[in-house]
Amino acid sequence: MALRRVKIGLDILLAGLLLCQMAYSLVGNRAHEWTGLAFIVLAVAHNVINRSAYVYAFRGPWSASRAVGLAVTALAMVSLVGLAASAPFVSGHVFVFLNLSGGASVARTVHLLCAYWGFVFFSFHLGLHFERLAGRMGLGPAGPFKAAAWALVILAAGFGVKAFLANDIASYLFLRVIFAYFDPDLPLWLFFSQYLAMMVTFAALAFCLRKLLRARKP
C-alpha cells in the first residue's frame, strides 16, 4: 500500500514538473534547468520503482495493445535520454561548471525536438496506464462520478485540441520552427491550463486506443 502511494505521488509530481518544463522562459531559465534536472532524476526513479514491468515486458502472449504500450514506453525513454544528453550543452546554470564548448546549436535542436515529442509520449504513457487509477478517481465502471468525470475529460481534451492548434505545436514536432516562442503577455495560469489540456488530450487518445485494441478479437 505504501509503495502504491509512492508510485501515485511520483507520477503526479512528474506530470507537474513536465508542465513546468514546457513553460521554459515563462518560469525563467534557472527554474527551467533545476526543475528539468528534478524531472530526469524522478523519471529514473520511476523506472527503477517500476522495473518489474521491464522484467515481464517480453513474456507471455503478444497483442496489439501490448506492442503499442512497449513502443510508447521506448519512445518516451528515447526522448528522456535525448533531453538528458543535450541539456549540459545548452545549460547556462546547472551544468555550466562542465564548461562544454561546441555543439550547442545541434544540442538545442535535439533538446527542442525531444521536449515536444517527449511531452506527447509521456502523456500517451500516462494514458495507457491510466486504467489502474481510473477506479480510484471515479472513472471506473462502478465509479459514482463516472459520467461527470468523463464529461470533464472530454471538455479538457477539446480545449487541448484548440490549444495544440493555436500554439502550432506541430511546427515544433516536425522542426518547421527550431526556436520555441512564448507570448510574454500570456498569464502563467493560462499557459499551464493549455498544456494540461493538451496532456489530457494525448492521454485520452492513448486510453481510448488501448481500449479499442483490447476489444478487438484475436
Examine residue 39 and state whether it is found in any structural domain, yes or no.
Answer: no
What predicted TM-score, i.e. pTM, was given to this entire model? 0.90
Examine residue 24 and state whether it is found in any structural domain, yes or no.
Answer: no
Residue 137: name the closest of 122, 126, 124, 148 by CA: 148
DSSP SS3 for 178: coil
- Residue 83 banded pLDDT, cuts 50, 70, 90: very high
Q: Which three cell numbers stand for residue 94?
A: 546547472
Examine residue 40 and state whether it is found in any structural domain, yes or no.
Answer: no
| Tens digits of residue pLDDT in 39-79 | 999 999 999 998 888 877 778 788 888 889 999 999 999 99
Q: Which residues of 197-206 are buried (b: 16+ CB within 10 A; e: fewer)?
A: bbbbbbbbbb
Q: How many residues does the chain have?
A: 218
- Residue 151 banded pLDDT, cuts 50, 70, 90: confident
Examine residue 37 and state whether it is found in any structural domain, yes or no.
Answer: no
What residue numbers bound the domain in which 96 lies? 62-215
Examine residue 73 and state whether it is found in any structural domain, yes or no.
Answer: yes
| Tens digits of residue pLDDT in 93-136 | 999 999 887 889 999 999 999 999 999 999 999 998 877 666 55
pLDDT at 35 over 60: yes
Ordered DSSP codes for 99-122: ---S-HHHHHHHHHHHHHHHHHHH
- The fraction of the chain above a pLDDT of 90, given in percent, is 58
Tally of domains in the chain: 1
- Residue 137 banded pLDDT, cuts 50, 70, 90: low
| Tens digits of residue pLDDT in 166-181 | 999 999 999 999 888 8
- Decide if 110 contacts 162 (C-beta within 8 A): no
Examine residue 17 and state whether it is found in any structural domain, yes or no.
Answer: no
- How far out from the chain centre does Cα 56 lie? 23
Examine residue 43 and state whether it is found in any structural domain, yes or no.
Answer: no
- Residue 214 banded pLDDT, cuts 50, 70, 90: confident
Examine residue 171 and state whether it is found in any structural domain, yes or no.
Answer: yes
pLDDT at 185 over 90: no
Q: How far apart, in whole angstroms, are the C-alpha atoms of residue 111 and residue 107?
A: 6
pLDDT at 147 over 70: yes
pLDDT at 9 over 60: yes
pLDDT at 156 over 80: yes
**Residue holding cell 496489439?**
64
